[in-house]
Amino acid sequence: MNIQKRILLIEDDESMGFLLKDSLEGYNFHVTHLTNGLPALPLLKKQSFDLCLLDVMMPKIDGFSLSSEIRSFNLDIPIIFLTAKSMKEDKIKGFKVGADDYVTKPFSIEELVLRIKAILKRGKITNLTNESINFDAYSLDITNLILHTQQESIQLTQKEADLLSLFVKNPNTLLRREYILKSIWEDDSYFLGRSLDVFISKLRKYFKETSSIKISNIHGTGYKFVILDSSL
Residue 92: strand, helix, or coil: helix
User: What is the DSSP code (8-state) at residue 131?
Assistant: -
- If you average pLDDT over residues 36-47, what whole number do you get? 90
> Regarding predicted confidence, which is higher, 184 or 51?
51
pLDDT digits (tens, 9 = 90+) for 46-80: 888 999 999 988 888 988 899 989 988 887 789 99
pLDDT for residue 124 is more than 70: no
Give the mean model confidence (pLDDT) for residues 183-202.
77
pLDDT at 184: 83
Side chain identity, residue 1: M
CATH of 156-227, one of 3.40.50.1100, 1.10.10.10, 1.20.810.10, 3.30.43.10: 1.10.10.10
User: What is the DSSP track for 8-64?
Assistant: EEE-S-HHHHHHHHHHHHTTTEEEEEESSSTTHHHHHHHS--SEEEEESS-SSS-HH
- Tell me the pLDDT band of 150, cut-offs 50, 70 and 90: confident
Burial class, 72, CB count within 10 angstroms (exposed 0-12 / middle 13-18 / buried 19+)? exposed
pTM of the shown model: 0.59
Listed in sequence order, the residues at least 6 apart from 121 whose beta carbon sits closer than 8 Å to its beta carbon are none
In the chain, domain spans: 5-127, 156-227
Please tell me the predicted confidence (pLDDT) of residue 231: 44
- Inter-axis angle of helices 88-96 and 63-71, nearest 10: 20
pLDDT band for 190, please (50, 70, 90 cuts): low
pLDDT band for 1, please (50, 70, 90 cuts): very low
Looking at residue 174, its amino acid is L
More confident residue, 206 or 88: 206
By CB atoms closer than 10 A (0-12, 13-18, 19+), residue 225 is buried
pLDDT at position 4 over 50: yes
Count CB-CB contacts under 10 A for residue 160.
18
Q: 161 or 190, which is more confident?
A: 161
Query: Is the pLDDT at 182 greater than 50, yes or no?
Result: yes
According to CATH, the superfamily of the domain at 5-127 is Response regulator (3.40.50.2300)
> Which residue has better confidence, 185 or 127?
185
